Amino acid sequence: MEKKRSLKPILIGIIILVLTAGIVYAVMSTGGSKKTEKAKTETQNSETSTKDTELKDGEYEGTAKGYGGDITVKVTIKDGKISDIKVVSQNETPGYYENGVKVLDKIIKANSTEVDSIAGATVTSDALKLAVQRALVKAGAKESDTAKKIEEHKNNILNAERKARARRGGGGLIAGIGGGGRGYFPKNSKFRDGTYTGTSRGYNGPIKVSVTIRNGKIASVSILNHHEDYPYFGWAKRVLNRIIGTDSANVNTVSGATYSSRGIINAINNALSKAVYTPDEVGKGKGNNHGGSTKPGNKDQDDEDDNANKPNKPSTPEEKTELEKIKEATNKMIAALTRKGQLKEGTFDGEGGGFNTTKGNIKTKTTIADNKIKDITVADGDDYADDITGYRSKAIRVLPFLKDEKNGRENIAVMKLYRDYVEKIQKAKDQKATAEKLIGKKHADLIYNYANVEHVSRGVKSYFSQEHGKKDMFDAVTGATVSAGGIGRSVDNAVEKSENDAKTGNTITAIEVVEPADSVNPYTKKIMLRANSKQPLDLSELKVALRKEDGSEIKVAYADFDKYGIEIKDKQTGEKLTHGMDISKFAAKGAMTAVISHKESKRTVEMAIWFGAYSKDYVKEMEYSLDDGKTWKKVENPILSDENKNNIADRQTVKLPKSYLGKNIKFRTKTISGAIYNYESKEGMQYKKIKFDCVTESYKDNANVGFALFITFEEDKSAPKPPTPGGEEAGEGDIGVTMPAGGVLNHQKIADIPVTAGSGVTLESAEGLPNGLKLEGNKITGTPEIADSEFTDEVQKTYKVKIKGKKGGKTIFKTVDLLALQDKDRDGISANDEGVKGDNAFTPQLTTLFITKKLNDPAPTLDDYKALVKNLPKDGSVTVEVENPPNMSVKKNYIVTLKFKSTHVDGIGVKRISVKVD
């Protein structure tokens, strides 16, 4: 690992990095970036704008990669304009997210994603812009280069940070990328007193801390758990001494343990994000309206601080009167939800949405005997779909309250109602008004961020704890209250079934989807429905089974759903789904969850419906050709798709003899109707997995047809081996050659490779060398000139070189491998070292980053700057442009930007140097 190397080279590397980062930071945070921003803006303005596009009204979702993972947004179009943007989910670092989300207001105002990114949160704001742009395309925006440019800009920032992190073993390139601290909380923010937990990633895994705030300052920090190595973590903990007693975690990391100390700082910031508030926001619900949790990764359900259940500020007489009315209304709801009927004996399954409903519902089993709840078990392991299992242990502390003989049924109703209130507030258009109506202003004032489920939970929990005497129950589940609410829902669902069965004599115990049996969700392994988004909803093949107590079952086709009291609805909206209905409004989302319910038994089952170009015209044949399509050979016994066994899979293994190596090969597939889809690859046949792209976009009209085939080639050892041509293998010592272990660089002159001949051997030729190399006497020399298109995604190519000679009148040969590395931009750095994207822009190597000039000296010329570049090609293929030249009449340290454009690639290389006028 990087951390376990000697500290001396690490310290030297840090010194070098600090000097370099200082120059980069100066440019990124001062006027040095103005021309770049201007050029970027000019470029964006030339693209197709949503301002000139007629957008379809509705809600559309888009997703893009942020710093911490996927960011999903929901864009609302009204009257053809962007009227609102909500963040559905994100995993960004606290502070950066709050800063970066400001870009959404710019987008709404401009009605376009062609706006500047947010300084200090570039990656997050770029990701948000890209997610919005993808949503706008669904709304009818024209395709343009805007999305591509946003993603390239974001990836350039990420790549810069990753390279810097790799060089020094952790941390960020500069504060604006990998930093943390108070600088990214609002300027006038304060911290509420209490104890908060936070998590972040260290070098080896998550770090969890507990932060205590007293009098608005950090009073103490405890490390709850970590996975770091000693002594590095011991060194990293020294940051705690610098943080305690301050009102921020804005400190430097510790040399030698940078990654670990950064993990501690980010974990503290994560905890502080739960305590932060601004004075003018208290009770007003201010802040951005775009939503999204501020917590990265797996959300911490520590939704309560030490003050959550302490008395709030005194209520006014008017508020007290209003609160009494609210309490009375809630008591009526609790009474209505409390199940008072006779219960049927047995064990009943229940489901209810808890903290992470996107993963599924919380499943429980409730055992009833003597009209009482005797036992409740909560699903565990892979069956616990709510959140990571660490929170399950906290959430199940609610079970004794739900099983209580005297108050159990009421407690179930309260926990269910608590979770319903949280959800109702979050879904409301006017969240603050809804919260005040449901729980009163006194408790609604505890909610500082209505988009954050934990914040909303804090207010609702306070209400039920203080106004309805349920403090003990809610205190027991602190840290996992939302999941406990899901357990309450799930148990209520089970008790409802028991009550219903006792009342009606129902014997149906479950409902299950049994057809279409050949359509299986590859993720859940459950039956699902695939619907063609351009056609009316087809439910004709849908069939369910009603399972009975005695083990028998009744299979019911969709045509008989009404007869058996079965209906199917959209889970999100509750809208009934029927055969032949228009599904365009659902299809825009790509997928939906349907709930199939049996009214009499109150049993339900969920089923995923995917929308796309689905068809019953399945792929039935796959063939390949080695003679440019003149003849075709069928792929025998092809693998069938996991998703649908009627369809041939896109991934196959084909065995071919060695004599076919390097040959061009084509594939095609045929469907039941006879439609043919052709696939090609730029690569010749090799023993590895090769991607073959469909040559047209016709695959988009049939979801059974893949956009590409992924063929793994293996040697067919049963085929006869052809005789070795051109003589016999050289003996020991006859021909000697050692190819360079690191390979040769394309387009760069190689160091001569010696070739030795043994006694009685005369060297004659070298076959199979890349273009530009040759055997000259007893050495291989020259400059490889391999067409850039010949390189694979691995950006390297291996050549079988056969060195031939004569011995005793016979031809002998020795075969060796020569590795050639791609250098598309001709900068002398292989694509292996700088990556495919790095190889798309010339990377200059300078003799120095610093120039010193006297006041009023002549300014450095273009040739002066070029003279600093060690790897500048002499053929003129790379041009150099100078930005921000120094003013030689003013003493100052200037940052000059050099831009390098190669005729061989699209990207632009950038280098910044310091010119000091003294």
Q: Provide the domain limits for residue 912.
A: 836-917
End position of a domain, from candidates 612, 627, 662? 612
351 and 478 co-located in one domain: yes
From the CA atom positions of the chain, what is the Rg in Å? 34
Crossing angle for the helix pair 408-427 and 453-467, to the nearest 10 degrees: 140
Cα separation of 439 and 458, whole Å? 11
Q: Are residues 344 and 493 in the same domain?
A: yes
Nearest 5 degrees, angle CA 764-CA 769-CA 775?
35
45 in a domain, yes or no?
A: yes
Q: Which CATH number covers residue 67?
A: 3.90.1010.20
pLDDT of residue 387: 58
In terms of domains, do 325 and 409 share one?
Answer: yes
Instruction: Quote the distance between the C-alpha of residue 782 and its chain's center.
Output: 46
Handedness of CA 445, 448, 449, 452 (dihedral sign): negative
Indicate if 785 and 855 belong to the same structural domain.
Answer: no
* Length, in residues, of the chain: 918
CB distance 352 to 492 below 8 Å: yes
List the one residue out of 621, 750, 599, 722 whose CA is nearest residue 675: 621
CB 191 within 8 A of CB 272: yes
Structural domain includes residue 642: yes
User: Which pair of structure tokens corresponds to residue 105?
Assistant: 């207001």
Residue 637's CB is within 10 A of a number of other CB atoms, namely 7
What is the CATH number for 753?
2.60.40
Does residue 240 fall inside a structural domain? yes
- 99-137 pLDDT, tens digit per residue, is 788 899 999 998 888 888 776 677 788 889 988 988 888
785 with 879, same domain: the answer is no
pLDDT in the model for residue 793: 62
DSSP labels, 565-596? TEEEEETTT--B--TT---HHHHTTSEEEEEE
Q: Is the dihedral of CA 105, 108, 111, 112 positive or negative?
A: positive
- With beta carbons less than 8 A apart as the criterion, state whether 495 and 412 touch: yes
**pLDDT value at position 213?**
87
What are 707-758's pLDDT values in tens digits?
A: 999 999 999 877 554 545 568 888 888 999 999 988 899 889 999 999 999 9
| CATH code of 903's domain | 2.60.40.10
Residues 485 and 378 in one domain: yes
In a domain, residue 17? The reply is no
* pLDDT at residue 832 in the model: 74
> CATH number for the domain including 198?
3.90.1010.10
The candidate with the shortest Cα–Cα distance to 301, out of 125, 437, 487, is 487
Q: Could you tell me which of 99, 262, 240, 242 has the C-alpha nearest to residue 172? A: 262
Task: Please tell me the number of Cα atoms within 13 Å of 452 on its side-chain side.
Answer: 26
Q: CA-CA distances (angstroms) from residue 406 to 373, 382, 410, 517, 811?
A: 11, 33, 9, 47, 99
Query: How would you list the strands of the sheet with 773-776, edge to edge?
Result: 735-737, 753-757, 779-782, 773-776
Specify whether 111 is located in the same domain as 235: no
Return the structure tokens found at 835. 């990556």
Same domain, 324 and 452: yes
* Residues 453 and 363 reside in one and the same domain: yes
Q: What sign results for the dihedral spanned by CA atoms 381, 382, 385, 388?
A: positive
Please give the pLDDT value at position 380.
84
Tell me which residues of the chain have a pLDDT lower than 50: 1-49, 51, 160, 162-184, 230-231, 252-257, 281-287, 293-311, 389, 721, 723
Residue-by-residue DSSP string for 783-807: -----GGG--TTSEEEEEEEEEEEE
For residue 293, give the DSSP letter.
-
- Is 849 within the bounds of a domain? yes
pLDDT of residue 585: 85
The residue from 590, 612, 634 where one domain ends is 612
Report the number of distinct structural domains present in the chain.
Answer: 7
CB 812 within 8 A of CB 757: no
In a domain, 291, yes or no: no
Q: What is the reported pLDDT for 313?
A: 53
Tell me the pTM. 0.43
The answer to whether residue 303 is domain-embedded is no
Is there a single domain that holds both residue 553 and residue 701?
no
Looking at the structure, tell me whether residues 522 and 483 fall in a common domain.
Answer: no
User: Which two three-digit tokens encode residue 194?
Assistant: 């209490």
pLDDT at 904 (0 to 100): 86
Tokens representing residue 903 in the block: 């005729």
848, β-bridge pairs: none
User: What six digits make up the tokens of 27?
Assistant: 């440019």
Same domain, 149 and 46: yes
Cβ-contact 198, 270 below 8 angstroms: yes
| β partners of residue 846 | 869
> φ and ψ at 413, to 5 degrees?
-60, -40
- Classify residue 306: in a domain, yes or no: no
Neighbours of 670 (CB within 10 A): 16
